[in-house]
């Protein structure tokens, strides 16, 4: 169900087998206000009751397919109904708490958020006046500022903090690069076509939808059928086009909407193809990820880093995937911004000098074992996950910790964030370990950051394809003595013996591995000659003692050459931003006077503007004060907007809340002004000279709003009335 955006997931941009498990519950887990203390326990109750429903449904099915009598079956169905009612009631309780008076369904909640986002131009469908294009979105003014704040913070938190080498490579990529990376051959989804309309669908989506629907609605399914459908969902990722096609035929699955017959599934490459230069003979693609631009530059970057490991390179940029039928708004798009890190490390030493900085962090982790055994994610101390071997190595763990801090600081609710380890069938064969940062949204758990130890795969692939040796060296503090096998064929003797075949025999001798060579050496010493198979000739030849000298020599080596491993945290910026929108959104109880109830509780770090300046009424005097304040805010580097419309102050507060501006300065006097905080709606009064300093202090996090409230006189009397004006 979820779209993967990092290079290790060439195959698994297809749904993960477990995704349906979490969707059932995930759907109700959104919230529209701050986390209530008893919400977590209510969620647990709902989850348990839903699992009881599930088990009872299994029982009903078994009874129906067995020899049980009607009475027994009826009783069992009644019990199921009761359990369902019970679960529904628990869900409602949860909603009453989590919904904070909203009591909307997940879809209603999402619709409210999306409506607000589109109406305030956080984002909107691209090329709308031409009917739009599925999977393409524009960020409008406030969204664009949020995005640029998120990217600035990313650069600060990762690139600058860790002295990473940032690069900026083109999106247009020649075929050879993506041939080496495997994308040309394997970056595909299986597609079926509506045989009449030609409309395209993802084959796995159709099969998944069918299985889930059947399991949800058909209680009379016999147990073997249930098991079969569940099995399909579990292995969906691994099905071949043939099996997928056979299942679609067997179940009589037709095209959604039209109900027409479907073609056989065939792979569709998800890259946008183009042609570089005017001749038309150099195919190119729009990159599906930014990582390859770093790998092909490894040699230069390693040199730039003084030929030392470890080091990390990073890149922020656009990536492209020509999705078959994109849905889910900002979560599955055809063009998106990625921020990727490739941390190169000696495979023999994956420790991290700064791991201690993150070792004490505690957050939800969801290791492979817990997933396989049906347990849920649990709060884990990161240091323990390393010491117990749950996470493969310190460097991987360090990045998991840093990603956690990054998302938390952005304003992602830490209770709706978990790190999920890849199951064996999700992970590429070469990967040492992979964890996804998943954020819960109204669409369920969304993979937003992939953190993978990809071993030496990428550098080796490009070494093989380009012939340029992408390796690192470790200089020994003192030379090491090593034994080295030397095979020295005699061209003259081989020529005499094998004439035209001389070269092939010689190559075969040189290509022997250590064991073969030592065996030949022993044979020649004991028997003077030996039978030797030359594959390229397709036959055995006789090698005599004078034809080759095999010896073991002692050599001093001064360094070790190796292909570095790479640890890759890969961030889907649009997905993170969308989840942030949902986590930040809440509605304020409607009053008789106030029209606007939607608020984004963005932290100052990501808020599109840090504050607004309002003259209370239209007056030249107040406008002049507003200008003075604007100037001092600009000097303090605080982004702001001035709203001099004559609208009521209450409406202006609502407008500023709706785009998530944390502070509003109202000019109601020549000497002092009020500052209102968005979420508490409390106000303080400060002098015009102090206002920029105060805002800067709280925006930059040197003080909290509570500290500020202590220091300055509150403006309590007017707070409620102006807000509701």
Instruction: Restricting to residues 426-485, name those near a second copy by CB under 8 A.
Output: 462, 465-466, 468, 470
CA distance 153 to 427: 30
Among 24, 68, 96, 171, binds a second copy (CB under 8 A): 171
Q: Which two tokens stand for residue 187?
A: 């970056």
**Between 55 and 308, CB nearer to a second copy:** 308
Among 74, 78, 138, 706, binds a second copy (CB under 8 A): 138
Among 137, 498, 602, 622, binds a second copy (CB under 8 A): 137
Please name the residue that has the structure tokens 């759907």. Answer: 27
By CB under 8 A, residue 173 contacts a second copy:
yes
Q: Give me the least distance between CB of 26 and a second copy, in Å please.
A: 29
CA distance 354 to 342: 17
Q: Collapse the DSSP code of 696 into the 3-class scheme (helix H, G, I; strand E, B; otherwise coil) and give the result.
A: helix
By CB under 8 A, residue 500 contacts a second copy:
no
Among 39, 47, 166, 627, binds a second copy (CB under 8 A): 166
By CB under 8 A, residue 353 contacts a second copy:
no
Stretch that binds a second copy, among 60-68, 209-217, 428-436, 638-646 (CB under 8 A): 638-646
Stretch that binds a second copy, among 61-69, 128-136, 219-227, 340-348 (CB under 8 A): 128-136
Among 148, 240, 258, 680, binds a second copy (CB under 8 A): 148
Interface mask toward a second copy for 87-126; x: CB under 8 A:
---------------------------------xx--x-x
Q: Give me the least distance between CB of 124 and a second copy, in Å please.
A: 6
Among 82, 107, 218, 304, binds a second copy (CB under 8 A): 304
Q: Give me the least distance between CB of 166 and a second copy, in Å please.
A: 4
Stretch that binds a second copy, among 12-20, 160-168, 440-448, 616-624 (CB under 8 A): 160-168
- In the range 39-58, which residues lie near a second copy by CB under 8 A? none
447: region left, alpha or beta (phi > 0 left; psi from -120 to 50 alpha): beta
| Chain centroid to CA 223 | 36
CA distance 206 to 189: 13
First to last CA, the chain: 46
Beta bridge partners of 374: none
CB atoms within 10 A of CB 186: 11
Nearest to 285 by CA among 165, 177, 416: 177
Binding residues for a second copy, total number by CB under 8 A: 76
- In the range 251-280, which residues lie near a second copy by CB under 8 A? 268, 272-279
- Are 23 and 36 spatial neighbours (Cβ–Cβ below 8 Å)? no
By CB under 8 A, residue 140 contacts a second copy:
yes
- In the range 174-193, which residues lie near a second copy by CB under 8 A? 174, 176-177, 191
- Phi, psi for 366 (deg, rounded to 5): -135, 80
Please name the residue that has the structure tokens 């460097």. Answer: 395
Q: Which two tokens stand for residue 274?
A: 């183009």
**Between 480 and 634, CB nearer to a second copy:** 634
- Are 502 and 518 spatial neighbours (Cβ–Cβ below 8 Å)? no
- Are 421 and 434 spatial neighbours (Cβ–Cβ below 8 Å)? yes
- In the range 309-348, which residues lie near a second copy by CB under 8 A? 318, 320, 322, 324, 334-335
CA distance 490 to 296: 40
Stretch that binds a second copy, among 142-150, 424-432, 504-512, 712-720 (CB under 8 A): 142-150
CA distance 678 to 709: 14
Q: Which two tokens stand for residue 492?
A: 């003259």
């Amino acid at each position: 169900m979820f779209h993967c955006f990092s290079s290790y997931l060439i195959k698994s941009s297809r749904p993960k087998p477990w995704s349906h498990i979490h969707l059932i519950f995930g759907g109700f887990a959104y919230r529209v206000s701050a986390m209530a203390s008893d919400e977590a326990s209510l969620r647990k109750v709902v989850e348990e009751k839903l699992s009881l429903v599930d088990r009872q449904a299994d029982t009903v099915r078994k009874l129906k397919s067995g020899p049980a009598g009607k009475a027994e079956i009826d009783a069992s169905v009644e019990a199921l109904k009761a359990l369902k009612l019970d679960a529904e009631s628990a869900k409602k309780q949860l909603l009453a708490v989590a919904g904070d008076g909203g009591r909307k369904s997940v879809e209603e909640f999402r619709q409210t958020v999306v409506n607000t986002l589109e109406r305030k131009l956080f984002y909107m469908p691209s090329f709308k006046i031409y009917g739009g294009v599925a999977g393409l979105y524009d960020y409008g003014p406030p969204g664009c500022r949020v995005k640029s704040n998120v990217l600035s913070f990313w650069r600060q938190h990762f690139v600058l903090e860790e002295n990473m080498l940032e690069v900026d490579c083109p999106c247009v990529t020649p075929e050879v690069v993506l041939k080496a990376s495997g994308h040309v051959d394997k970056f595909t989804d299986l597609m079926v076509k509506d045989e009449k309309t030609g409309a395209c669908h993802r084959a796995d989506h159709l099969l998944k939808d069918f299985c889930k629907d059947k399991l949800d609605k058909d209680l009379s399914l016999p147990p073997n059928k249930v098991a079969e459908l569940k099995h399909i969902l579990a292995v969906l990722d691994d099905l071949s086009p043939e099996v997928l096609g056979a299942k679609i035929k067997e179940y009589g699955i037709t095209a959604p909407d039209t109900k027409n017959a479907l073609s056989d599934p065939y792979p569709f490459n998800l890259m946008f193809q183009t042609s570089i230069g005017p001749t038309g003979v150099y195919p190119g693609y729009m990159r599906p990820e930014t990582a390859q631009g770093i790998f092909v530059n490894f040699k230069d970057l390693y040199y730039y880093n003084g030929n030392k490991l470890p080091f990390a390179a990073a890149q922020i940029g656009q990536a492209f995937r020509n999705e078959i039928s994109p849905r889910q708004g900002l979560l599955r798009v055809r063009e998106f911004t990625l921020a990727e890190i490739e941390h190169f490390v000696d495979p023999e030493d994956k420790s991290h000098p700064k791991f201690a900085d993150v070792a004490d962090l505690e957050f939800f982790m969801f290791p492979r074992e817990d997933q396989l055994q049906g347990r849920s994610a649990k709060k884990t101390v990161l240091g323990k996950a390393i010491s117990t071997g749950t996470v493969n190595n310190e460097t991987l763990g360090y990045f998991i910790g840093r990603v956690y801090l990054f998302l938390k600081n952005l304003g992602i609710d830490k209770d709706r964030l978990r790190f999920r380890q890849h199951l064996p069938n999700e992970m590429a064969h070469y990967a040492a370990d992979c964890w996804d940062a998943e954020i819960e949204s109204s669409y369920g758990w969304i993979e937003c950051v992939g953190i993978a130890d990809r071993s030496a795969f990428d550098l080796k692939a490009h070494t093989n394809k380009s012939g340029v040796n992408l390796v690192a060296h470790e200089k020994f503090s003192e030379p090491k003595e090593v034994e080295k096998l030397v095979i020295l064929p005699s061209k003259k003797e081989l020529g005499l013996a094998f004439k035209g075949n001389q070269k092939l025999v010689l190559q075969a001798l040189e290509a022997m591995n250590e064991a073969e060579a030592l065996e030949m050496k022993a044979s020649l010493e004991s028997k003077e000659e030996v039978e030797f198979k030359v594959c390229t000739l397709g036959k055995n030849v006789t090698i005599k003692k004078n034809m080759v000298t095999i010896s073991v020599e002692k050599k001093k080596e001064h360094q070790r050459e190796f292909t570095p491993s790479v640890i890759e945290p890969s961030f889907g910026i649009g997905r993170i931003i969308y989840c942030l929108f949902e986590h930040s959104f809440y509605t304020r109880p409607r009053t008789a006077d106030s029209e606007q109830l939607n608020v984004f509780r963005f932290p100052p770090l990501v808020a599109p503007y840090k504050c607004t300046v309002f003259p209370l009424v239209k007056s030249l005097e107040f406008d002049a004060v507003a200008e003075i304040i604007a100037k001092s805010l600009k000097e303090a580097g605080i982004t702001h907007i001035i709203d001099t419309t004559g609208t009521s102050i209450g409406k202006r507060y609502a407008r500023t809340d709706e785009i998530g501006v944390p502070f509003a300065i109202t000019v109601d006097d020549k000497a002092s002004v009020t500052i209102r905080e968005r979420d508490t709606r409390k106000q303080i009064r400060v002098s015009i000279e102090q206002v920029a300093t105060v805002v800067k202090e709280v925006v930059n996090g040197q003080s909290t709003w509570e500290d500020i409230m202590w220091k300055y006189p509150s403006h309590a009397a007017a707070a409620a009335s102006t807000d509701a004006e």
